Chains A and B, each alone.
Chain A
Amino acid sequence: MSPARKKAVRKRPAKKKPARKTVTDATDKHTIKCIDGTAQAVYGKAIRKNGKPELTSPVRSLGNVKYDPKKGYLEIGRQRKVRTLTVNTVKSFAQSLRMMGVSKEMIEQDTFATKREAYYVSKNWGEAKFNEQPESDAVMDDIEAMFAIQGVSREQLRFYPEDHGGAVAGNLVVIDRDPVSRAPLRIDCTKFGTGAYTIPHSVEHLEFETKAKFVLAIETGGMFQRLSAHGFWDTANCVIVSMSGVPTRATRRFIRRLSDSKKIPVYAFVDCDPYGFSNIYRTLKAGSGNTAHLNRFFCVPQARYLGVTPQDIVDYELPTHPLLDVDKKRARDALKNDPFFQQSKPWRKAIEDLVKMGVRAEQQALAKWGLNYVIEEYLPAKLKSVKSFLP
C-alpha cells in the first residue's frame, strides 16, 4: 500500500450518502409508502400552527392480545395508543422519526442493520443519539408495532435480529440463492456430517424439497446432537430442528414455511416444565405475547406437543426436580393470563397436573434408561400415537 493511499484511508471524509436507488420490489415499495405516509402525516400537523403531530401504534400488553384457535396464533387486539408530540415525548418522537429515516435509507440501499448496528447508527444523531442499546431496542419495537398494523414486519423495515439460531438436519434440500451472484443454491441438509445447516435471519426467499414425514423441533442443542449423531432423522424420515430455548423468529418462520409448503406436520420435543410449555412451545405455536403484532408470520399453528408430558413422568418413571417458586408463578400466570392456554382444555389439565405433582423433568431425564433410550424407545413409541399429542 502506498503512503498516499494510506493517508486517504485514514482521512475519512464526511459520510457521503450513496445516491438513492430506485426500489423495484413490491414489498419494499409498500414499506416505503408506509414510512412516507407516517412521516407525511407528522409533517402535515407539524407545519400547522398549534398542530400536534401524532404517532399511532397498537397497545402492546397481554390485555390487548387475543387468541383465535381457528387462526392459531396470538393476535394483537384493537386497542391503539396515540403518542402526541409533547415536551415529555419529544425525545422518543425525534428518535422514532430518525429511526424511520434509517429504515427508508436501508431499503433504498438494499441493506440491513442488526439491533446493535442500529444503535451505533444513532451515534450520528448528536443530541438525539441513544446512550444504551435498550433505548434503541425500545424505539425499534415501537416502530415495528406501528408498522405491523399496516402489515409491515421488522425484517421488511430492514432491522434484523442479532442471532438467527436454529440448526437443521434431515432429509431436506433448501434452495437459497448466492448472496453475491444471486444464482440459485441447493443445500442438502443430509450433507452436513456432524455439523448442521443454520437457519438464516431472513427465510422468505427459501424454497424446499423434502420427502420427510414430519419436522421435529427440539428444545436443546444437546438432544439435537444426539438425534443427529445417531441418524434419527434417517430412520424416522424427518427433519430435526434445534431451537436452543425459545425459538427465534427466523426459526419459527423457517419451520412454518417448511411445514406450509410441504404440508408436513410439526412436533415439539421440549422439557416438561412451565417454561417449556408457556415460553418455548407456546411461542413456537402461537407466537409471543410481546410481539403479538407479528405472530401472523412468526408462528407454527400446526405444531403439536410430543413431549415430555406430565404423564410421561409417571409412565417412564422419570427422575424429577421440585418446581421452583418461579416455575409455579409461571404456571399460574399461564393458567390465568395466557389466552392460548385458557382456550385449551388439555393444556390446562396438563399444567394443573404438573403443579399438583410439584415437579419438573427435562428431556435428558430419559437417559436414566440408557443414553439412546430416547432414540430407540421413547420417540418411536410416542410417534405411534400422534393423535394423543397435546395441541
Chain B
Amino acid sequence: MSPRKQTSLFASSGAAAEAAEEDTTPAKRKAAARRAPARKPAAKRPAAKAKAKPKGKAKTKVKGPRTKAHDLAEKQREISVSEFFAKNRHLLGFDSKRKALLTTVKEAVDNALDACEEADILPDLTVRVEAVKVEEDRYRVSVADNGPGIVDAQVNNVFAKLLYGSKFHRLRQSRGQQGIGISAAGMYGQMTTGAPTIIRTRISRRHDAAEIGLRIDTHKNIPVRTKHKVIDWDRAHGTEVVIELEARYHKGRGSVPEFLGQVAIANPHVNITYYGPDKKTPEVYERATKVMPEHAKEIKPHPHGVELGFLMKMMKSTRSTRLSAFLHADFSRVSTPVARDICKRAKVEPDSRVKSLEHKSAEAIYKAIQNTKLMNPPTDCVSPIGESLIQKGLSKEIGEAEFFVSRTRSPSVYRGNPFQVEVGVALGGDLPADDPARLMRFANRVPLQHQPGACAITKSVIDVDWKGYGLQQPRGSMPIGPVIIMVHVASAWVPFTSESKEAVASYPEILKELKLCLQECGRQMQKHLRRRARVADEMKKRAYIEKYIPHIGAALKEILELSDAQEKKVVVTLRDTLERSRKL
C-alpha cells in the first residue's frame, strides 16, 4: 500500500473526529478546505462501498433461501486493533487537541525513562515542542533520551505497532504497561497531519546513528518504513522520537511544562531540558539526586490475582508437564507442599498432565486456590520513590514551603498484585491560602493529568477528614489551604480505569492504604500547625510584656507619686520576673 493511500485512509476517521472538535474559526475552516482534496476520495469510499453492497447482494449466488443472517454476514469482518483505536482515540487520551499534545509528550517521556532505567543510565531528556509554522494548531513534539537505543530490527514494532511491548507479559513496576502509548501517539500524528513518526536512535559509539520514518498500516496493524538513513548524531547512545501532530498549546494547568515539573518531582533522578514553542531559552529541571531508583524485580503472578481464564491460558502455555510442578514454577508463593495442598483441595491428581486437564478440573483448581491461604506476593517488584526523595522533589519544584512531610507505607496487596502507596505534603510558603489544596497524582512515577474525579487517589483525599488536621474542608470536596498533596501509587500492575491511564481504579485495599497514608501525613502536618500556633502565641505574649509592663509602672507612678527611678525599677524588675516565667 502506498503511503498516499494510507494518508487518505486515516483521514476518514480523522475527519469524523475533527467534526466532533469545535472547528469554527474561519482560519481553521480554510485550513480544512485546503486539506479537503486529499481527503475527498477517502470520504467517498465508504459511501461508495455502501452503495455497492445492494448490487453485490443481487449478484451473489446463494444456496438455499437467502436469510437476514447472510446479509449481516457480509458486514461482519475483522477489526484491526489499530483501526479500533484510530476510531476510539479518546480511549488513549487523544480526545482533544489540547490533550493530544500532553499525551504525546507523556508517552514519549514514559518510554524514554523506562528505557534509561532498565539500562541503569541516569536519564537526561530533551523535550521540544515546536510550532510548525505552515498551519496553525500543528506542532512537532520531540523527545530525546540518553538511553540504550533500540536495535534496528525492533524500531518498527516498538514505535508503530499497537500492543507491542516488553512490559505487558511480566509483573514488574514500570511506567508503560500495554505497549500502546507511543505507537498510538504516532498514529494520531499520522492521522491528523499525515507526517510519519521520525525515530533517531543509536546503540553505541561504535554503531551508526539512524534516522527512520515510520507509519502504521492501521488495517493490518503493521509498521511501514518511509525512510531509513544513517545520520550524524551528537549522542553516543539514545533515542529520539519526533511526532508531528495537530494540537493546541496552552499554559498553566495541564500544560506541558507543568507535566514535566511533576515528572521531575516523582523522578528526582531525572534531568529534563525543555524547549517550549514560545521560548528560545530552555527550561531545565535539574535532578535532585544521582542515585537511581531501586531496580524493581520481576515477579511471577500471585495465584490470588489470577482469573480462571488466565489460569487456563497459563495451563495451555506452561513449560511444566505435571500440575504440581506447574503451580510451583509459574506462580509466586507456591511451594511444593502448597501446590500439593491445592491439588488435594481441588481433588485433582498432582501428577496429572497439565495440558490434558479439562475445563472442569481447571475450575476446581481455581476454586481451590481461592480457598488456600497463601503468603502475600513478594514486594520487591515495587520501587517507591522514598520519603526523603519525595521531599527533595517537592521542595525542588515548589520552592519555599514552610513544612514538608512524606510517608511511604509498607507494600500491600490487592487481588494478588503488590502495591505501595506514598504521600508527600507541602504546606505554606507562597501557596495560596484560600484555594483548594492542589493534588498531584502519580502512578508508577507518571503524573496523572486527567479525570481526577474518577480516581481512587482523589476519592481518598476527599474521604480524609482534613478538618481534624487544621485545614478547612467543605463537605465532599478537597481541603482548602496552602497545601500541595502528592500521592504516588506504585505497583507491578496499577489498575487504571481506562487504557489512557488517567485514573487509578478504586480497589478497597488501595483506598484503605491511601487513606492511612494521607492520615499519617495529616497528623504530622497538624503537629506542625499546632506547634506553629503555640510559638506564635508565645511570641504574642512576649510582646505583651514589652507593651504593658511600662503602663503598670506609669500607673503606679501616678497613684503613689513615685520618682522616675522607682518607676524604672518597677518596669525592669517586673519584665525580668515575667520573662523568666516563660519558656519557648
**Footprint of B on A, CB under 8 Å?**
35-36, 39-40, 42-43, 46-53, 85-88, 90-91, 93-95, 97-98, 100-101, 104-105, 125-128
Contacts and interface: CB of A to CB of B under 8 A. Distances in A.
B502 to A, nearest CB: 54
B547 A98 contact: no
A222 B566 CA distance: 59
Contacts of A51: 573, 577
A353 B545 CA distance: 57
B560 A36 contact: yes
A50 B573 CA distance: 8
Among all A-B residue pairs, the 6 with the closest Cβ atoms: A97-B555, A94-B551, A101-B558, A128-B551, A39-B559, A94-B548
Contacts of B551: 94-95, 97-98, 125-128
B577 A50 contact: yes
Given A47-B570, A50-B577, A51-B577, A94 B552 contact: yes
B268 to A, nearest CB: 45
The residue in A46, A93, A128 that gathers the most chain B C-beta atoms within 10 A of its C-beta is: A46
Nearest to B572: A47
A91 B548 contact: yes
B578 A87 contact: yes
A86 B552 CA distance: 12
A90 B549 contact: yes
Given A35-B559, A105-B558, 19 more contacts: A42-B552, A43-B570, A46-B552, A49-B573, A49-B576, A49-B577, A50-B580, A87-B544, A87-B545, A87-B578, A88-B541, A90-B548, A91-B548, A97-B556, A98-B551, A98-B554, A104-B558, A127-B548, A128-B551
Given A47-B569, A94-B555, A101-B555, A40 B560 contact: yes
Contacts of B549: 90, 94
Nearest to A104: B559
Interface of B: 541-542, 544-545, 547-549, 551-552, 554-556, 558-560, 562, 566, 569-570, 573-574, 576-578, 580-582
B559 A100 contact: yes
Contacts of B566: 47
Contacts of A85: 552, 574, 578
Contacts of B577: 49-52
B560 A43 contact: yes
Contacts of A94: 548-549, 551-552, 555
A42 B556 contact: yes
Contact of A39 (B541, B556, B582): B556
A88 B562 CA distance: 26
Contacts of B552: 42, 46, 53, 85, 90, 93-94, 97
Contact of B541 (A47, A87, A128): A87
A46 B574 contact: yes
B498 to A, nearest CB: 59
Contacts of B560: 36, 39-40, 43
Given A39-B560, A43-B570, A87-B542, A127 B581 contact: no
19 contacts: A40-B560, A42-B556, A43-B556, A46-B574, A48-B573, A53-B574, A87-B544, A87-B581, A90-B548, A90-B578, A91-B544, A94-B555, A97-B552, A98-B551, A98-B558, A100-B555, A100-B559, A104-B559, A127-B547
Nearest to B582: A87
Contact of B573 (A47, A97, A98): A47
A101 B548 contact: no
Contacts of B573: 46-49, 51
Nearest to A129: B551
B478 to A, nearest CB: 37
Q: Tell me what chain B mostly uses at the interface: helix, strand, loop, or mixed.
A: helix
The residue in A48, A85, A100 that gathers the most chain B C-beta atoms within 10 A of its C-beta is: A85
Contacts of B541: 87-88
Contacts of A88: 541
A91 B543 CA distance: 11
A70 B555 CA distance: 42
Contacts of B547: 91, 127-128
A74 B509 CA distance: 68
Nearest to B547: A127
A86 B581 contact: yes
Contacts of B544: 87, 90-91
The residue in B548, B558, B577 that gathers the most chain A C-beta atoms within 10 A of its C-beta is: B548
A49 B551 CA distance: 19
B559 A46 contact: no
A94 B573 CA distance: 15
Contacts of B576: 49
A273 B544 CA distance: 48
A126 B549 CA distance: 12
B389 to A, nearest CB: 43
Contacts of A104: 558-559
Contacts of B578: 85-87, 90
The residue in A53, A87, A91 that gathers the most chain B C-beta atoms within 10 A of its C-beta is: A87
B540 to A, nearest CB: 9
A308 B556 CA distance: 53
B555 to A, nearest CB: 4
Contact of B562 (A43, A86, A100, A127): A43
Contacts of A93: 548, 552
A128 B548 contact: yes
Nearest to A98: B555
A36 B559 contact: yes
Given A87-B545, A91-B544, A91-B548, A46 B555 contact: no
A125 B548 CA distance: 10
Nearest to B541: A87
Contacts of A86: 578, 581
B144 to A, nearest CB: 63
Contacts of B558: 98, 101, 104-105
Nearest to A96: B555
B384 to A, nearest CB: 47
B559 A101 contact: yes
A100 B555 CA distance: 8
The residue in A52, A98, A104, A126 that gathers the most chain B C-beta atoms within 10 A of its C-beta is: A98
A39 B554 CA distance: 12
A194 B340 CA distance: 115
Nearest to A125: B551
A101 B578 CA distance: 23
A47 B565 CA distance: 11
B543 to A, nearest CB: 10
A39 B556 CA distance: 6
A19 B580 CA distance: 40
A53 B264 CA distance: 61
A32 to B, nearest CB: 9
A374 B562 CA distance: 64
Contacts of B548: 90-91, 93-94, 127-128
B261 to A, nearest CB: 46
A101 B551 CA distance: 11
Nearest to A20: B561
Nearest to B555: A97
The residue in A43, A51, A88 that gathers the most chain B C-beta atoms within 10 A of its C-beta is: A43
Contacts of B554: 98
B365 to A, nearest CB: 73
B569 to A, nearest CB: 5
A53 B547 CA distance: 18
A303 to B, nearest CB: 39
A48 B569 CA distance: 10
Contacts of B555: 39, 94, 97-98, 100-101
A46 B551 CA distance: 13
Contacts of A95: 551
Contacts of A49: 573, 576-577
Nearest to A42: B556
Nearest to A40: B560
A43 B574 CA distance: 10
